[in-house]
Structure 1
Amino acid sequence: MTGGRHGFLLLGGVAAVGAGGLHLFAAGLHTEHATLARLMVVLAAAQCAVGLAAMVSARKAVPVMVIGVNVVAVAVWAYTRFAGLPWPDGLDVAEAPQFLDSTCAVLGVVAVAGAAVALVRPEAKLGVPQAATAAGMSGVLAVAAMLGGAGHVHSHGTGDHSHADGDHTAHDHGTGNAWPRPWDPAKPIDVSGVPGVTAAQEQRATALIRGTLDDLPAFADVHSIGALGYRSIGDSVTGYEHFINTAYIRDDLFLDAKHPESLVYRVDGDNRTLVSAMYIAKGKKIDDPDLVNYGGALMQWHVHDNLCWKAGDGGPQVAGVTDAQGNCPPASINPGAGNPMVHVWITANQCGPFAALEGHGAGQAATTPGGSRKDTCSHDHSGGHR
């Protein structure tokens, strides 16, 4: 093997070891998902093994192994930025790229590139001193990613932890971790530091917000959604109008921003501005672990057990709420609590990205003592809705 070829392989080997170290570090951040953590350890061991082999061996099989292991690692990372995997738990929801995982992927790409050049272009030159310099830079990048990840672990998560100035000033009274906190989609998503919320819950909540911001604007034109099966429930008098798609309520999709069960528009005369999705979970109870554990204390699933409904031309219409005796207005009925629901806002809201209507008719949550809800806040802000 020529010195040049060895230099490229050395670079690929060090990058593979760096990626493996980051995967081992990340495994410690996913201990709530034992299978995922174990798989990360196995992948880390494989990357470190082939990386070390590349540093000490000139055999042709070595760059092939470096390429194979790291292609798998990078491919899985790339796929899970856009879609979830059915297995293992912890990768079931697409996650926005973060510095730690992105650095790991970059090092994996460098490992593949270095090994590929060493394998197919032995005439390419990269001296050992130059390779050692590049390898040292890869090591520094890996350490920086670990330090950044360590800070996120301290704040109970590895989701999007970018903090925008002023995000924590209105409602957290200086604690930095109170929830809910003001939400502005123009600023980085920040659900970090909430006591009791796991890293996986932060990641799922962040991914849900990100996906809703990306996909929900496709429904911005209220005049086009009728063709998609959406019908108003006739509550525009409240200042917000809900449009429900009963076909999406019956399907098996869960928290899918491309198929939201309900759309919420702010009412301004004849104008309607899309402000929120209202996701509805089919066939689940309010205390179902799939709902309670999805975002933990960040999200509050709720039901409406005091709404009265009547028949309308386009489908069921809200007629009001039950009175103190539990009675509905004439020609309407109260069917009781239905499928649990949760909101995600794509416009600013002082009560957070999952805010809901405060006061009478707001719905009940059975997962906290007395049914109180964590997706509301005690201040008098407009913008809450059912």
Structure 2
Amino acid sequence: MASGRNGYLLSGGIASVGAGAVHFMAAGMHTEHATLARLMVVLAAFQCATGLAVLLSERKAVVSSMLAVNGFAAAMWAFTRFADVPFIAGLTAESPQVADTVCAALGALAALAAGIGLLRPTAALPPMRSGIAAAAVGVFALAAMLNGVGHVHSHGDAGDHAHAAGDSHAHGAGDDHGSDSNWPRPWDPTKPIDLSGVSGVTAEQQTRATNLVRSTLDGLPAFADVNTVGALGFRSIGDAATGYEHYINTGFIRDNNFLDATHPESLVYRVDGTNRTLVSAMYIANGKKIDDPALTDFGGSLMQWHVHDNLCWKAGDNGPQVAGVTDEQGNCPPNSINPGAGNPMVHVWIAPHECGPFAALEGHGAGQAAAPDGRRTDACGHGDHGGGHR
């Protein structure tokens, strides 16, 4: 490189460091997918390292490295706006959000600056313009990180979910249970399974849903002793204060078993002091979207596939823990983040529930899918359920 500071590389190096900083933050928001989180950390480290290296040296090899790293990062962002990366759990197609868009833009800027630096080694920007560009890059990176921490980042593959007071749900096609006066209806596992008479449900869907309930009733009691499930890979997400405690198994989330009572991705226990009573399986469809026909067509409107978009998580001694839900402005409690919606899930209850065997929420009259906005409403059609969600 020629002597003198290449102004484009100055801005590009800062952009690369900024993109890396945003990626470091994003890695912390995807800890439920260890491989994806580790890859994000590696990419972030390369972006920061190559950005800093370019700020110190304009050698061709250094600039080329920044171009390659950031070009790859921007290309992967563009690809995952439309398609999944099937061999990396959690790296699924998603709509652009503020934080990831700014991160990709910073990466693209760094790659562009590196390209200019390679083609025009003596290119320069006036000192004032270089300083303004560098400051703008830093502001955008900081704004992206603040937005990512405080607001919803929709992601199709978050594996850890819970239900807390006031929890907001989004539901897939075919989940408006208020459309049929004959469904949902109270569920009593001591009585014969009867999912008949629901309009729009085919015989095949009724059979599949019935078999799922039956297999869950038969297989789930193997996990009844909460003191033994830790050895099987389950861990609590720390939501016992809601009256129900969820235990998740990340190994089961990542395997290829689908609606398998011998490999339930999550277990739900009713809390009574120090006692825990197993009441439900919460099956999680890893890597699928809420409107995937494999989900919506399985049991039709009998089943309530749903995701959560307002849960806040914090670091715990044994993995992420639920810290609460976002407030009206979309902000989380201090020291917690909202990673977005995540994988679709469906409950199958082995305990009585007023809203049926596939009710989405815990507690008396806990609620079904709302009409078009996809939010939870306590509308089982069986009286006043003002007790809401526990």
TM-score in terms of structure 2 length: 0.50
CA offset at residue 357 of structure 1?
Answer: 2.1
Task: State the shift of 1:381 in Å.
Answer: 5.3
* Aligned counterparts of 1:274 and 1:382: Cα–Cα separation in 2: 24
- One-letter code aligned to 2:373: G
Cα offset for 1:363?
10
User: Which residue of the partner structure matches residue 372 of structure 2?
Assistant: 369
Structure 1 residue 370 displacement after superposition: 1.6
CA distance in 1, matches of 2:281, 2:206: 19
Relative to structure 1, is the Cα distance of residues 347 and 284 closer, same or farther in structure 2, using a 3 angstrom cutoff?
same
Q: Residues 252-307 of structure 1: CA distance to partner in whole angstroms, max 9, x if unpaired?
A: 11000000000000000000000000000000111111111111110011000000
CA contact (8 A) 2:233 2:249 kept: yes
* CA RMSD in angstroms, aligned pairs only: 2.9
Shift >3 Å, 4+ stretches: 362-366, 372-376, 378-386
**CA–CA distance in structure 2, aligned partners of residues 248 and 273 of structure 1:** 21
Aligned to 1:351: 355
Give, in whole Å, the separation in 1 of the partners of 2:377 and 2:299.
Answer: 12
Give the one of 293, 313, 317 matched to 1:313.
Answer: 317
1:337 counterpart (336, 341, 359): 341
Deviations 1:308-354 (A, max 9, x none): 00111111100000000000001100000100000000011111101
CA separation of 1:289/1:376 partners in 2, compared to 1, >3 Å: closer, same or farther? farther
Q: Does 1:218 align with 2:229?
A: no
* Contact 2:323-2:333 at 8 Å conserved across structures: yes
In the alignment, the residues of structure 2 paired with residue 281 and residue 218 of structure 1 have an alpha-carbon distance, to the nearest angstrom, of: 21
Distance in 2 between residues matched to 1:283 and 1:321, nearest whole Å: 24
Give unpaired runs (5+ residues) of structure 1.
1-171
Contact 1:297/1:374, CA 8 A, preserved across alignment: no
Once the two structures are superposed, residues 154-201 of structure 1 have per-residue CA deviations (whole angstroms, 9 ceiling, x without a partner) of xxxxxxxxxxxxxxxxxx9xxx96100010011000000000000000
Residues 231 and 385 of structure 1: is their aligned pair in 2 closer, same or farther, counting only changes over 3 Å?
Answer: farther
Decide whether the 8 Å contact of 2:367 with 2:389 is kept in 1.
Answer: no
- Could you say what secondary structure the match of 2:307 adopts? coil
* Aligned position for 1:284: 288
Q: Residue in 1 aligned with 2:261? A: 257
Q: Is residue 178 of structure 2 the alignment partner of residue 180 of structure 1?
A: no
* 2:328 aligned residue: 324
Paired residues of 2:187 and 2:354 also in contact (CA < 8 A): yes
Q: Which residue of 2 aligns with 1:57?
A: none
* 1:199 equivalent in structure 2: 203
Does structure 2 retain, via aligned residues, the 8 Å contact 1:276–1:345?
yes
Q: Is the 8 A contact 1:265 1:275 kept in 2?
A: yes
Matched, 1:232 2:236: yes
- For the Cα contact (< 8 Å) 2:290–2:305, is it kept in 1? yes
User: Quick one: which amino acid aligns to residue 259 of structure 1?
Assistant: H
Residue of structure 2 in register with 1:126 after alignment: none
* Residues 310 and 331 in structure 1, CA contact (< 8 A), matched pair in contact too: yes
TM-score (norm 1): 0.51
Q: SS of the residue aligned with 2:373?
A: helix
| C-alpha contact 2:347 2:358 (8 A) present in aligned 1 | yes
Whole-Å separation in 1 of the counterparts to 2:334 and 2:247: 23
User: Which of the two has higher C-alpha Rg?
Assistant: 1
AA at the equivalent of 1:377: C
1 CA distance for matches of 2:258 and 2:379?
23
User: How many angstroms does 1:356 deviate by?
Assistant: 2.3
CA distance in 1, matches of 2:388, 2:268: 11
Contact 2:209 2:299 in 1 (8 A): yes
Q: Distance in 2 between matches of 1:376 and 1:363?
A: 6
1:346 and 1:374, CA in 2 relative to 1: closer, same or farther beyond 3 A?
farther
What CA distance in whole angstroms lies between the structure 1 residues aligned with 2:356 and 2:367?
17
Structure 2: any 5+ residue segments left out of the alignment? 1-176
Distance 2:335 2:374 in 1: 29
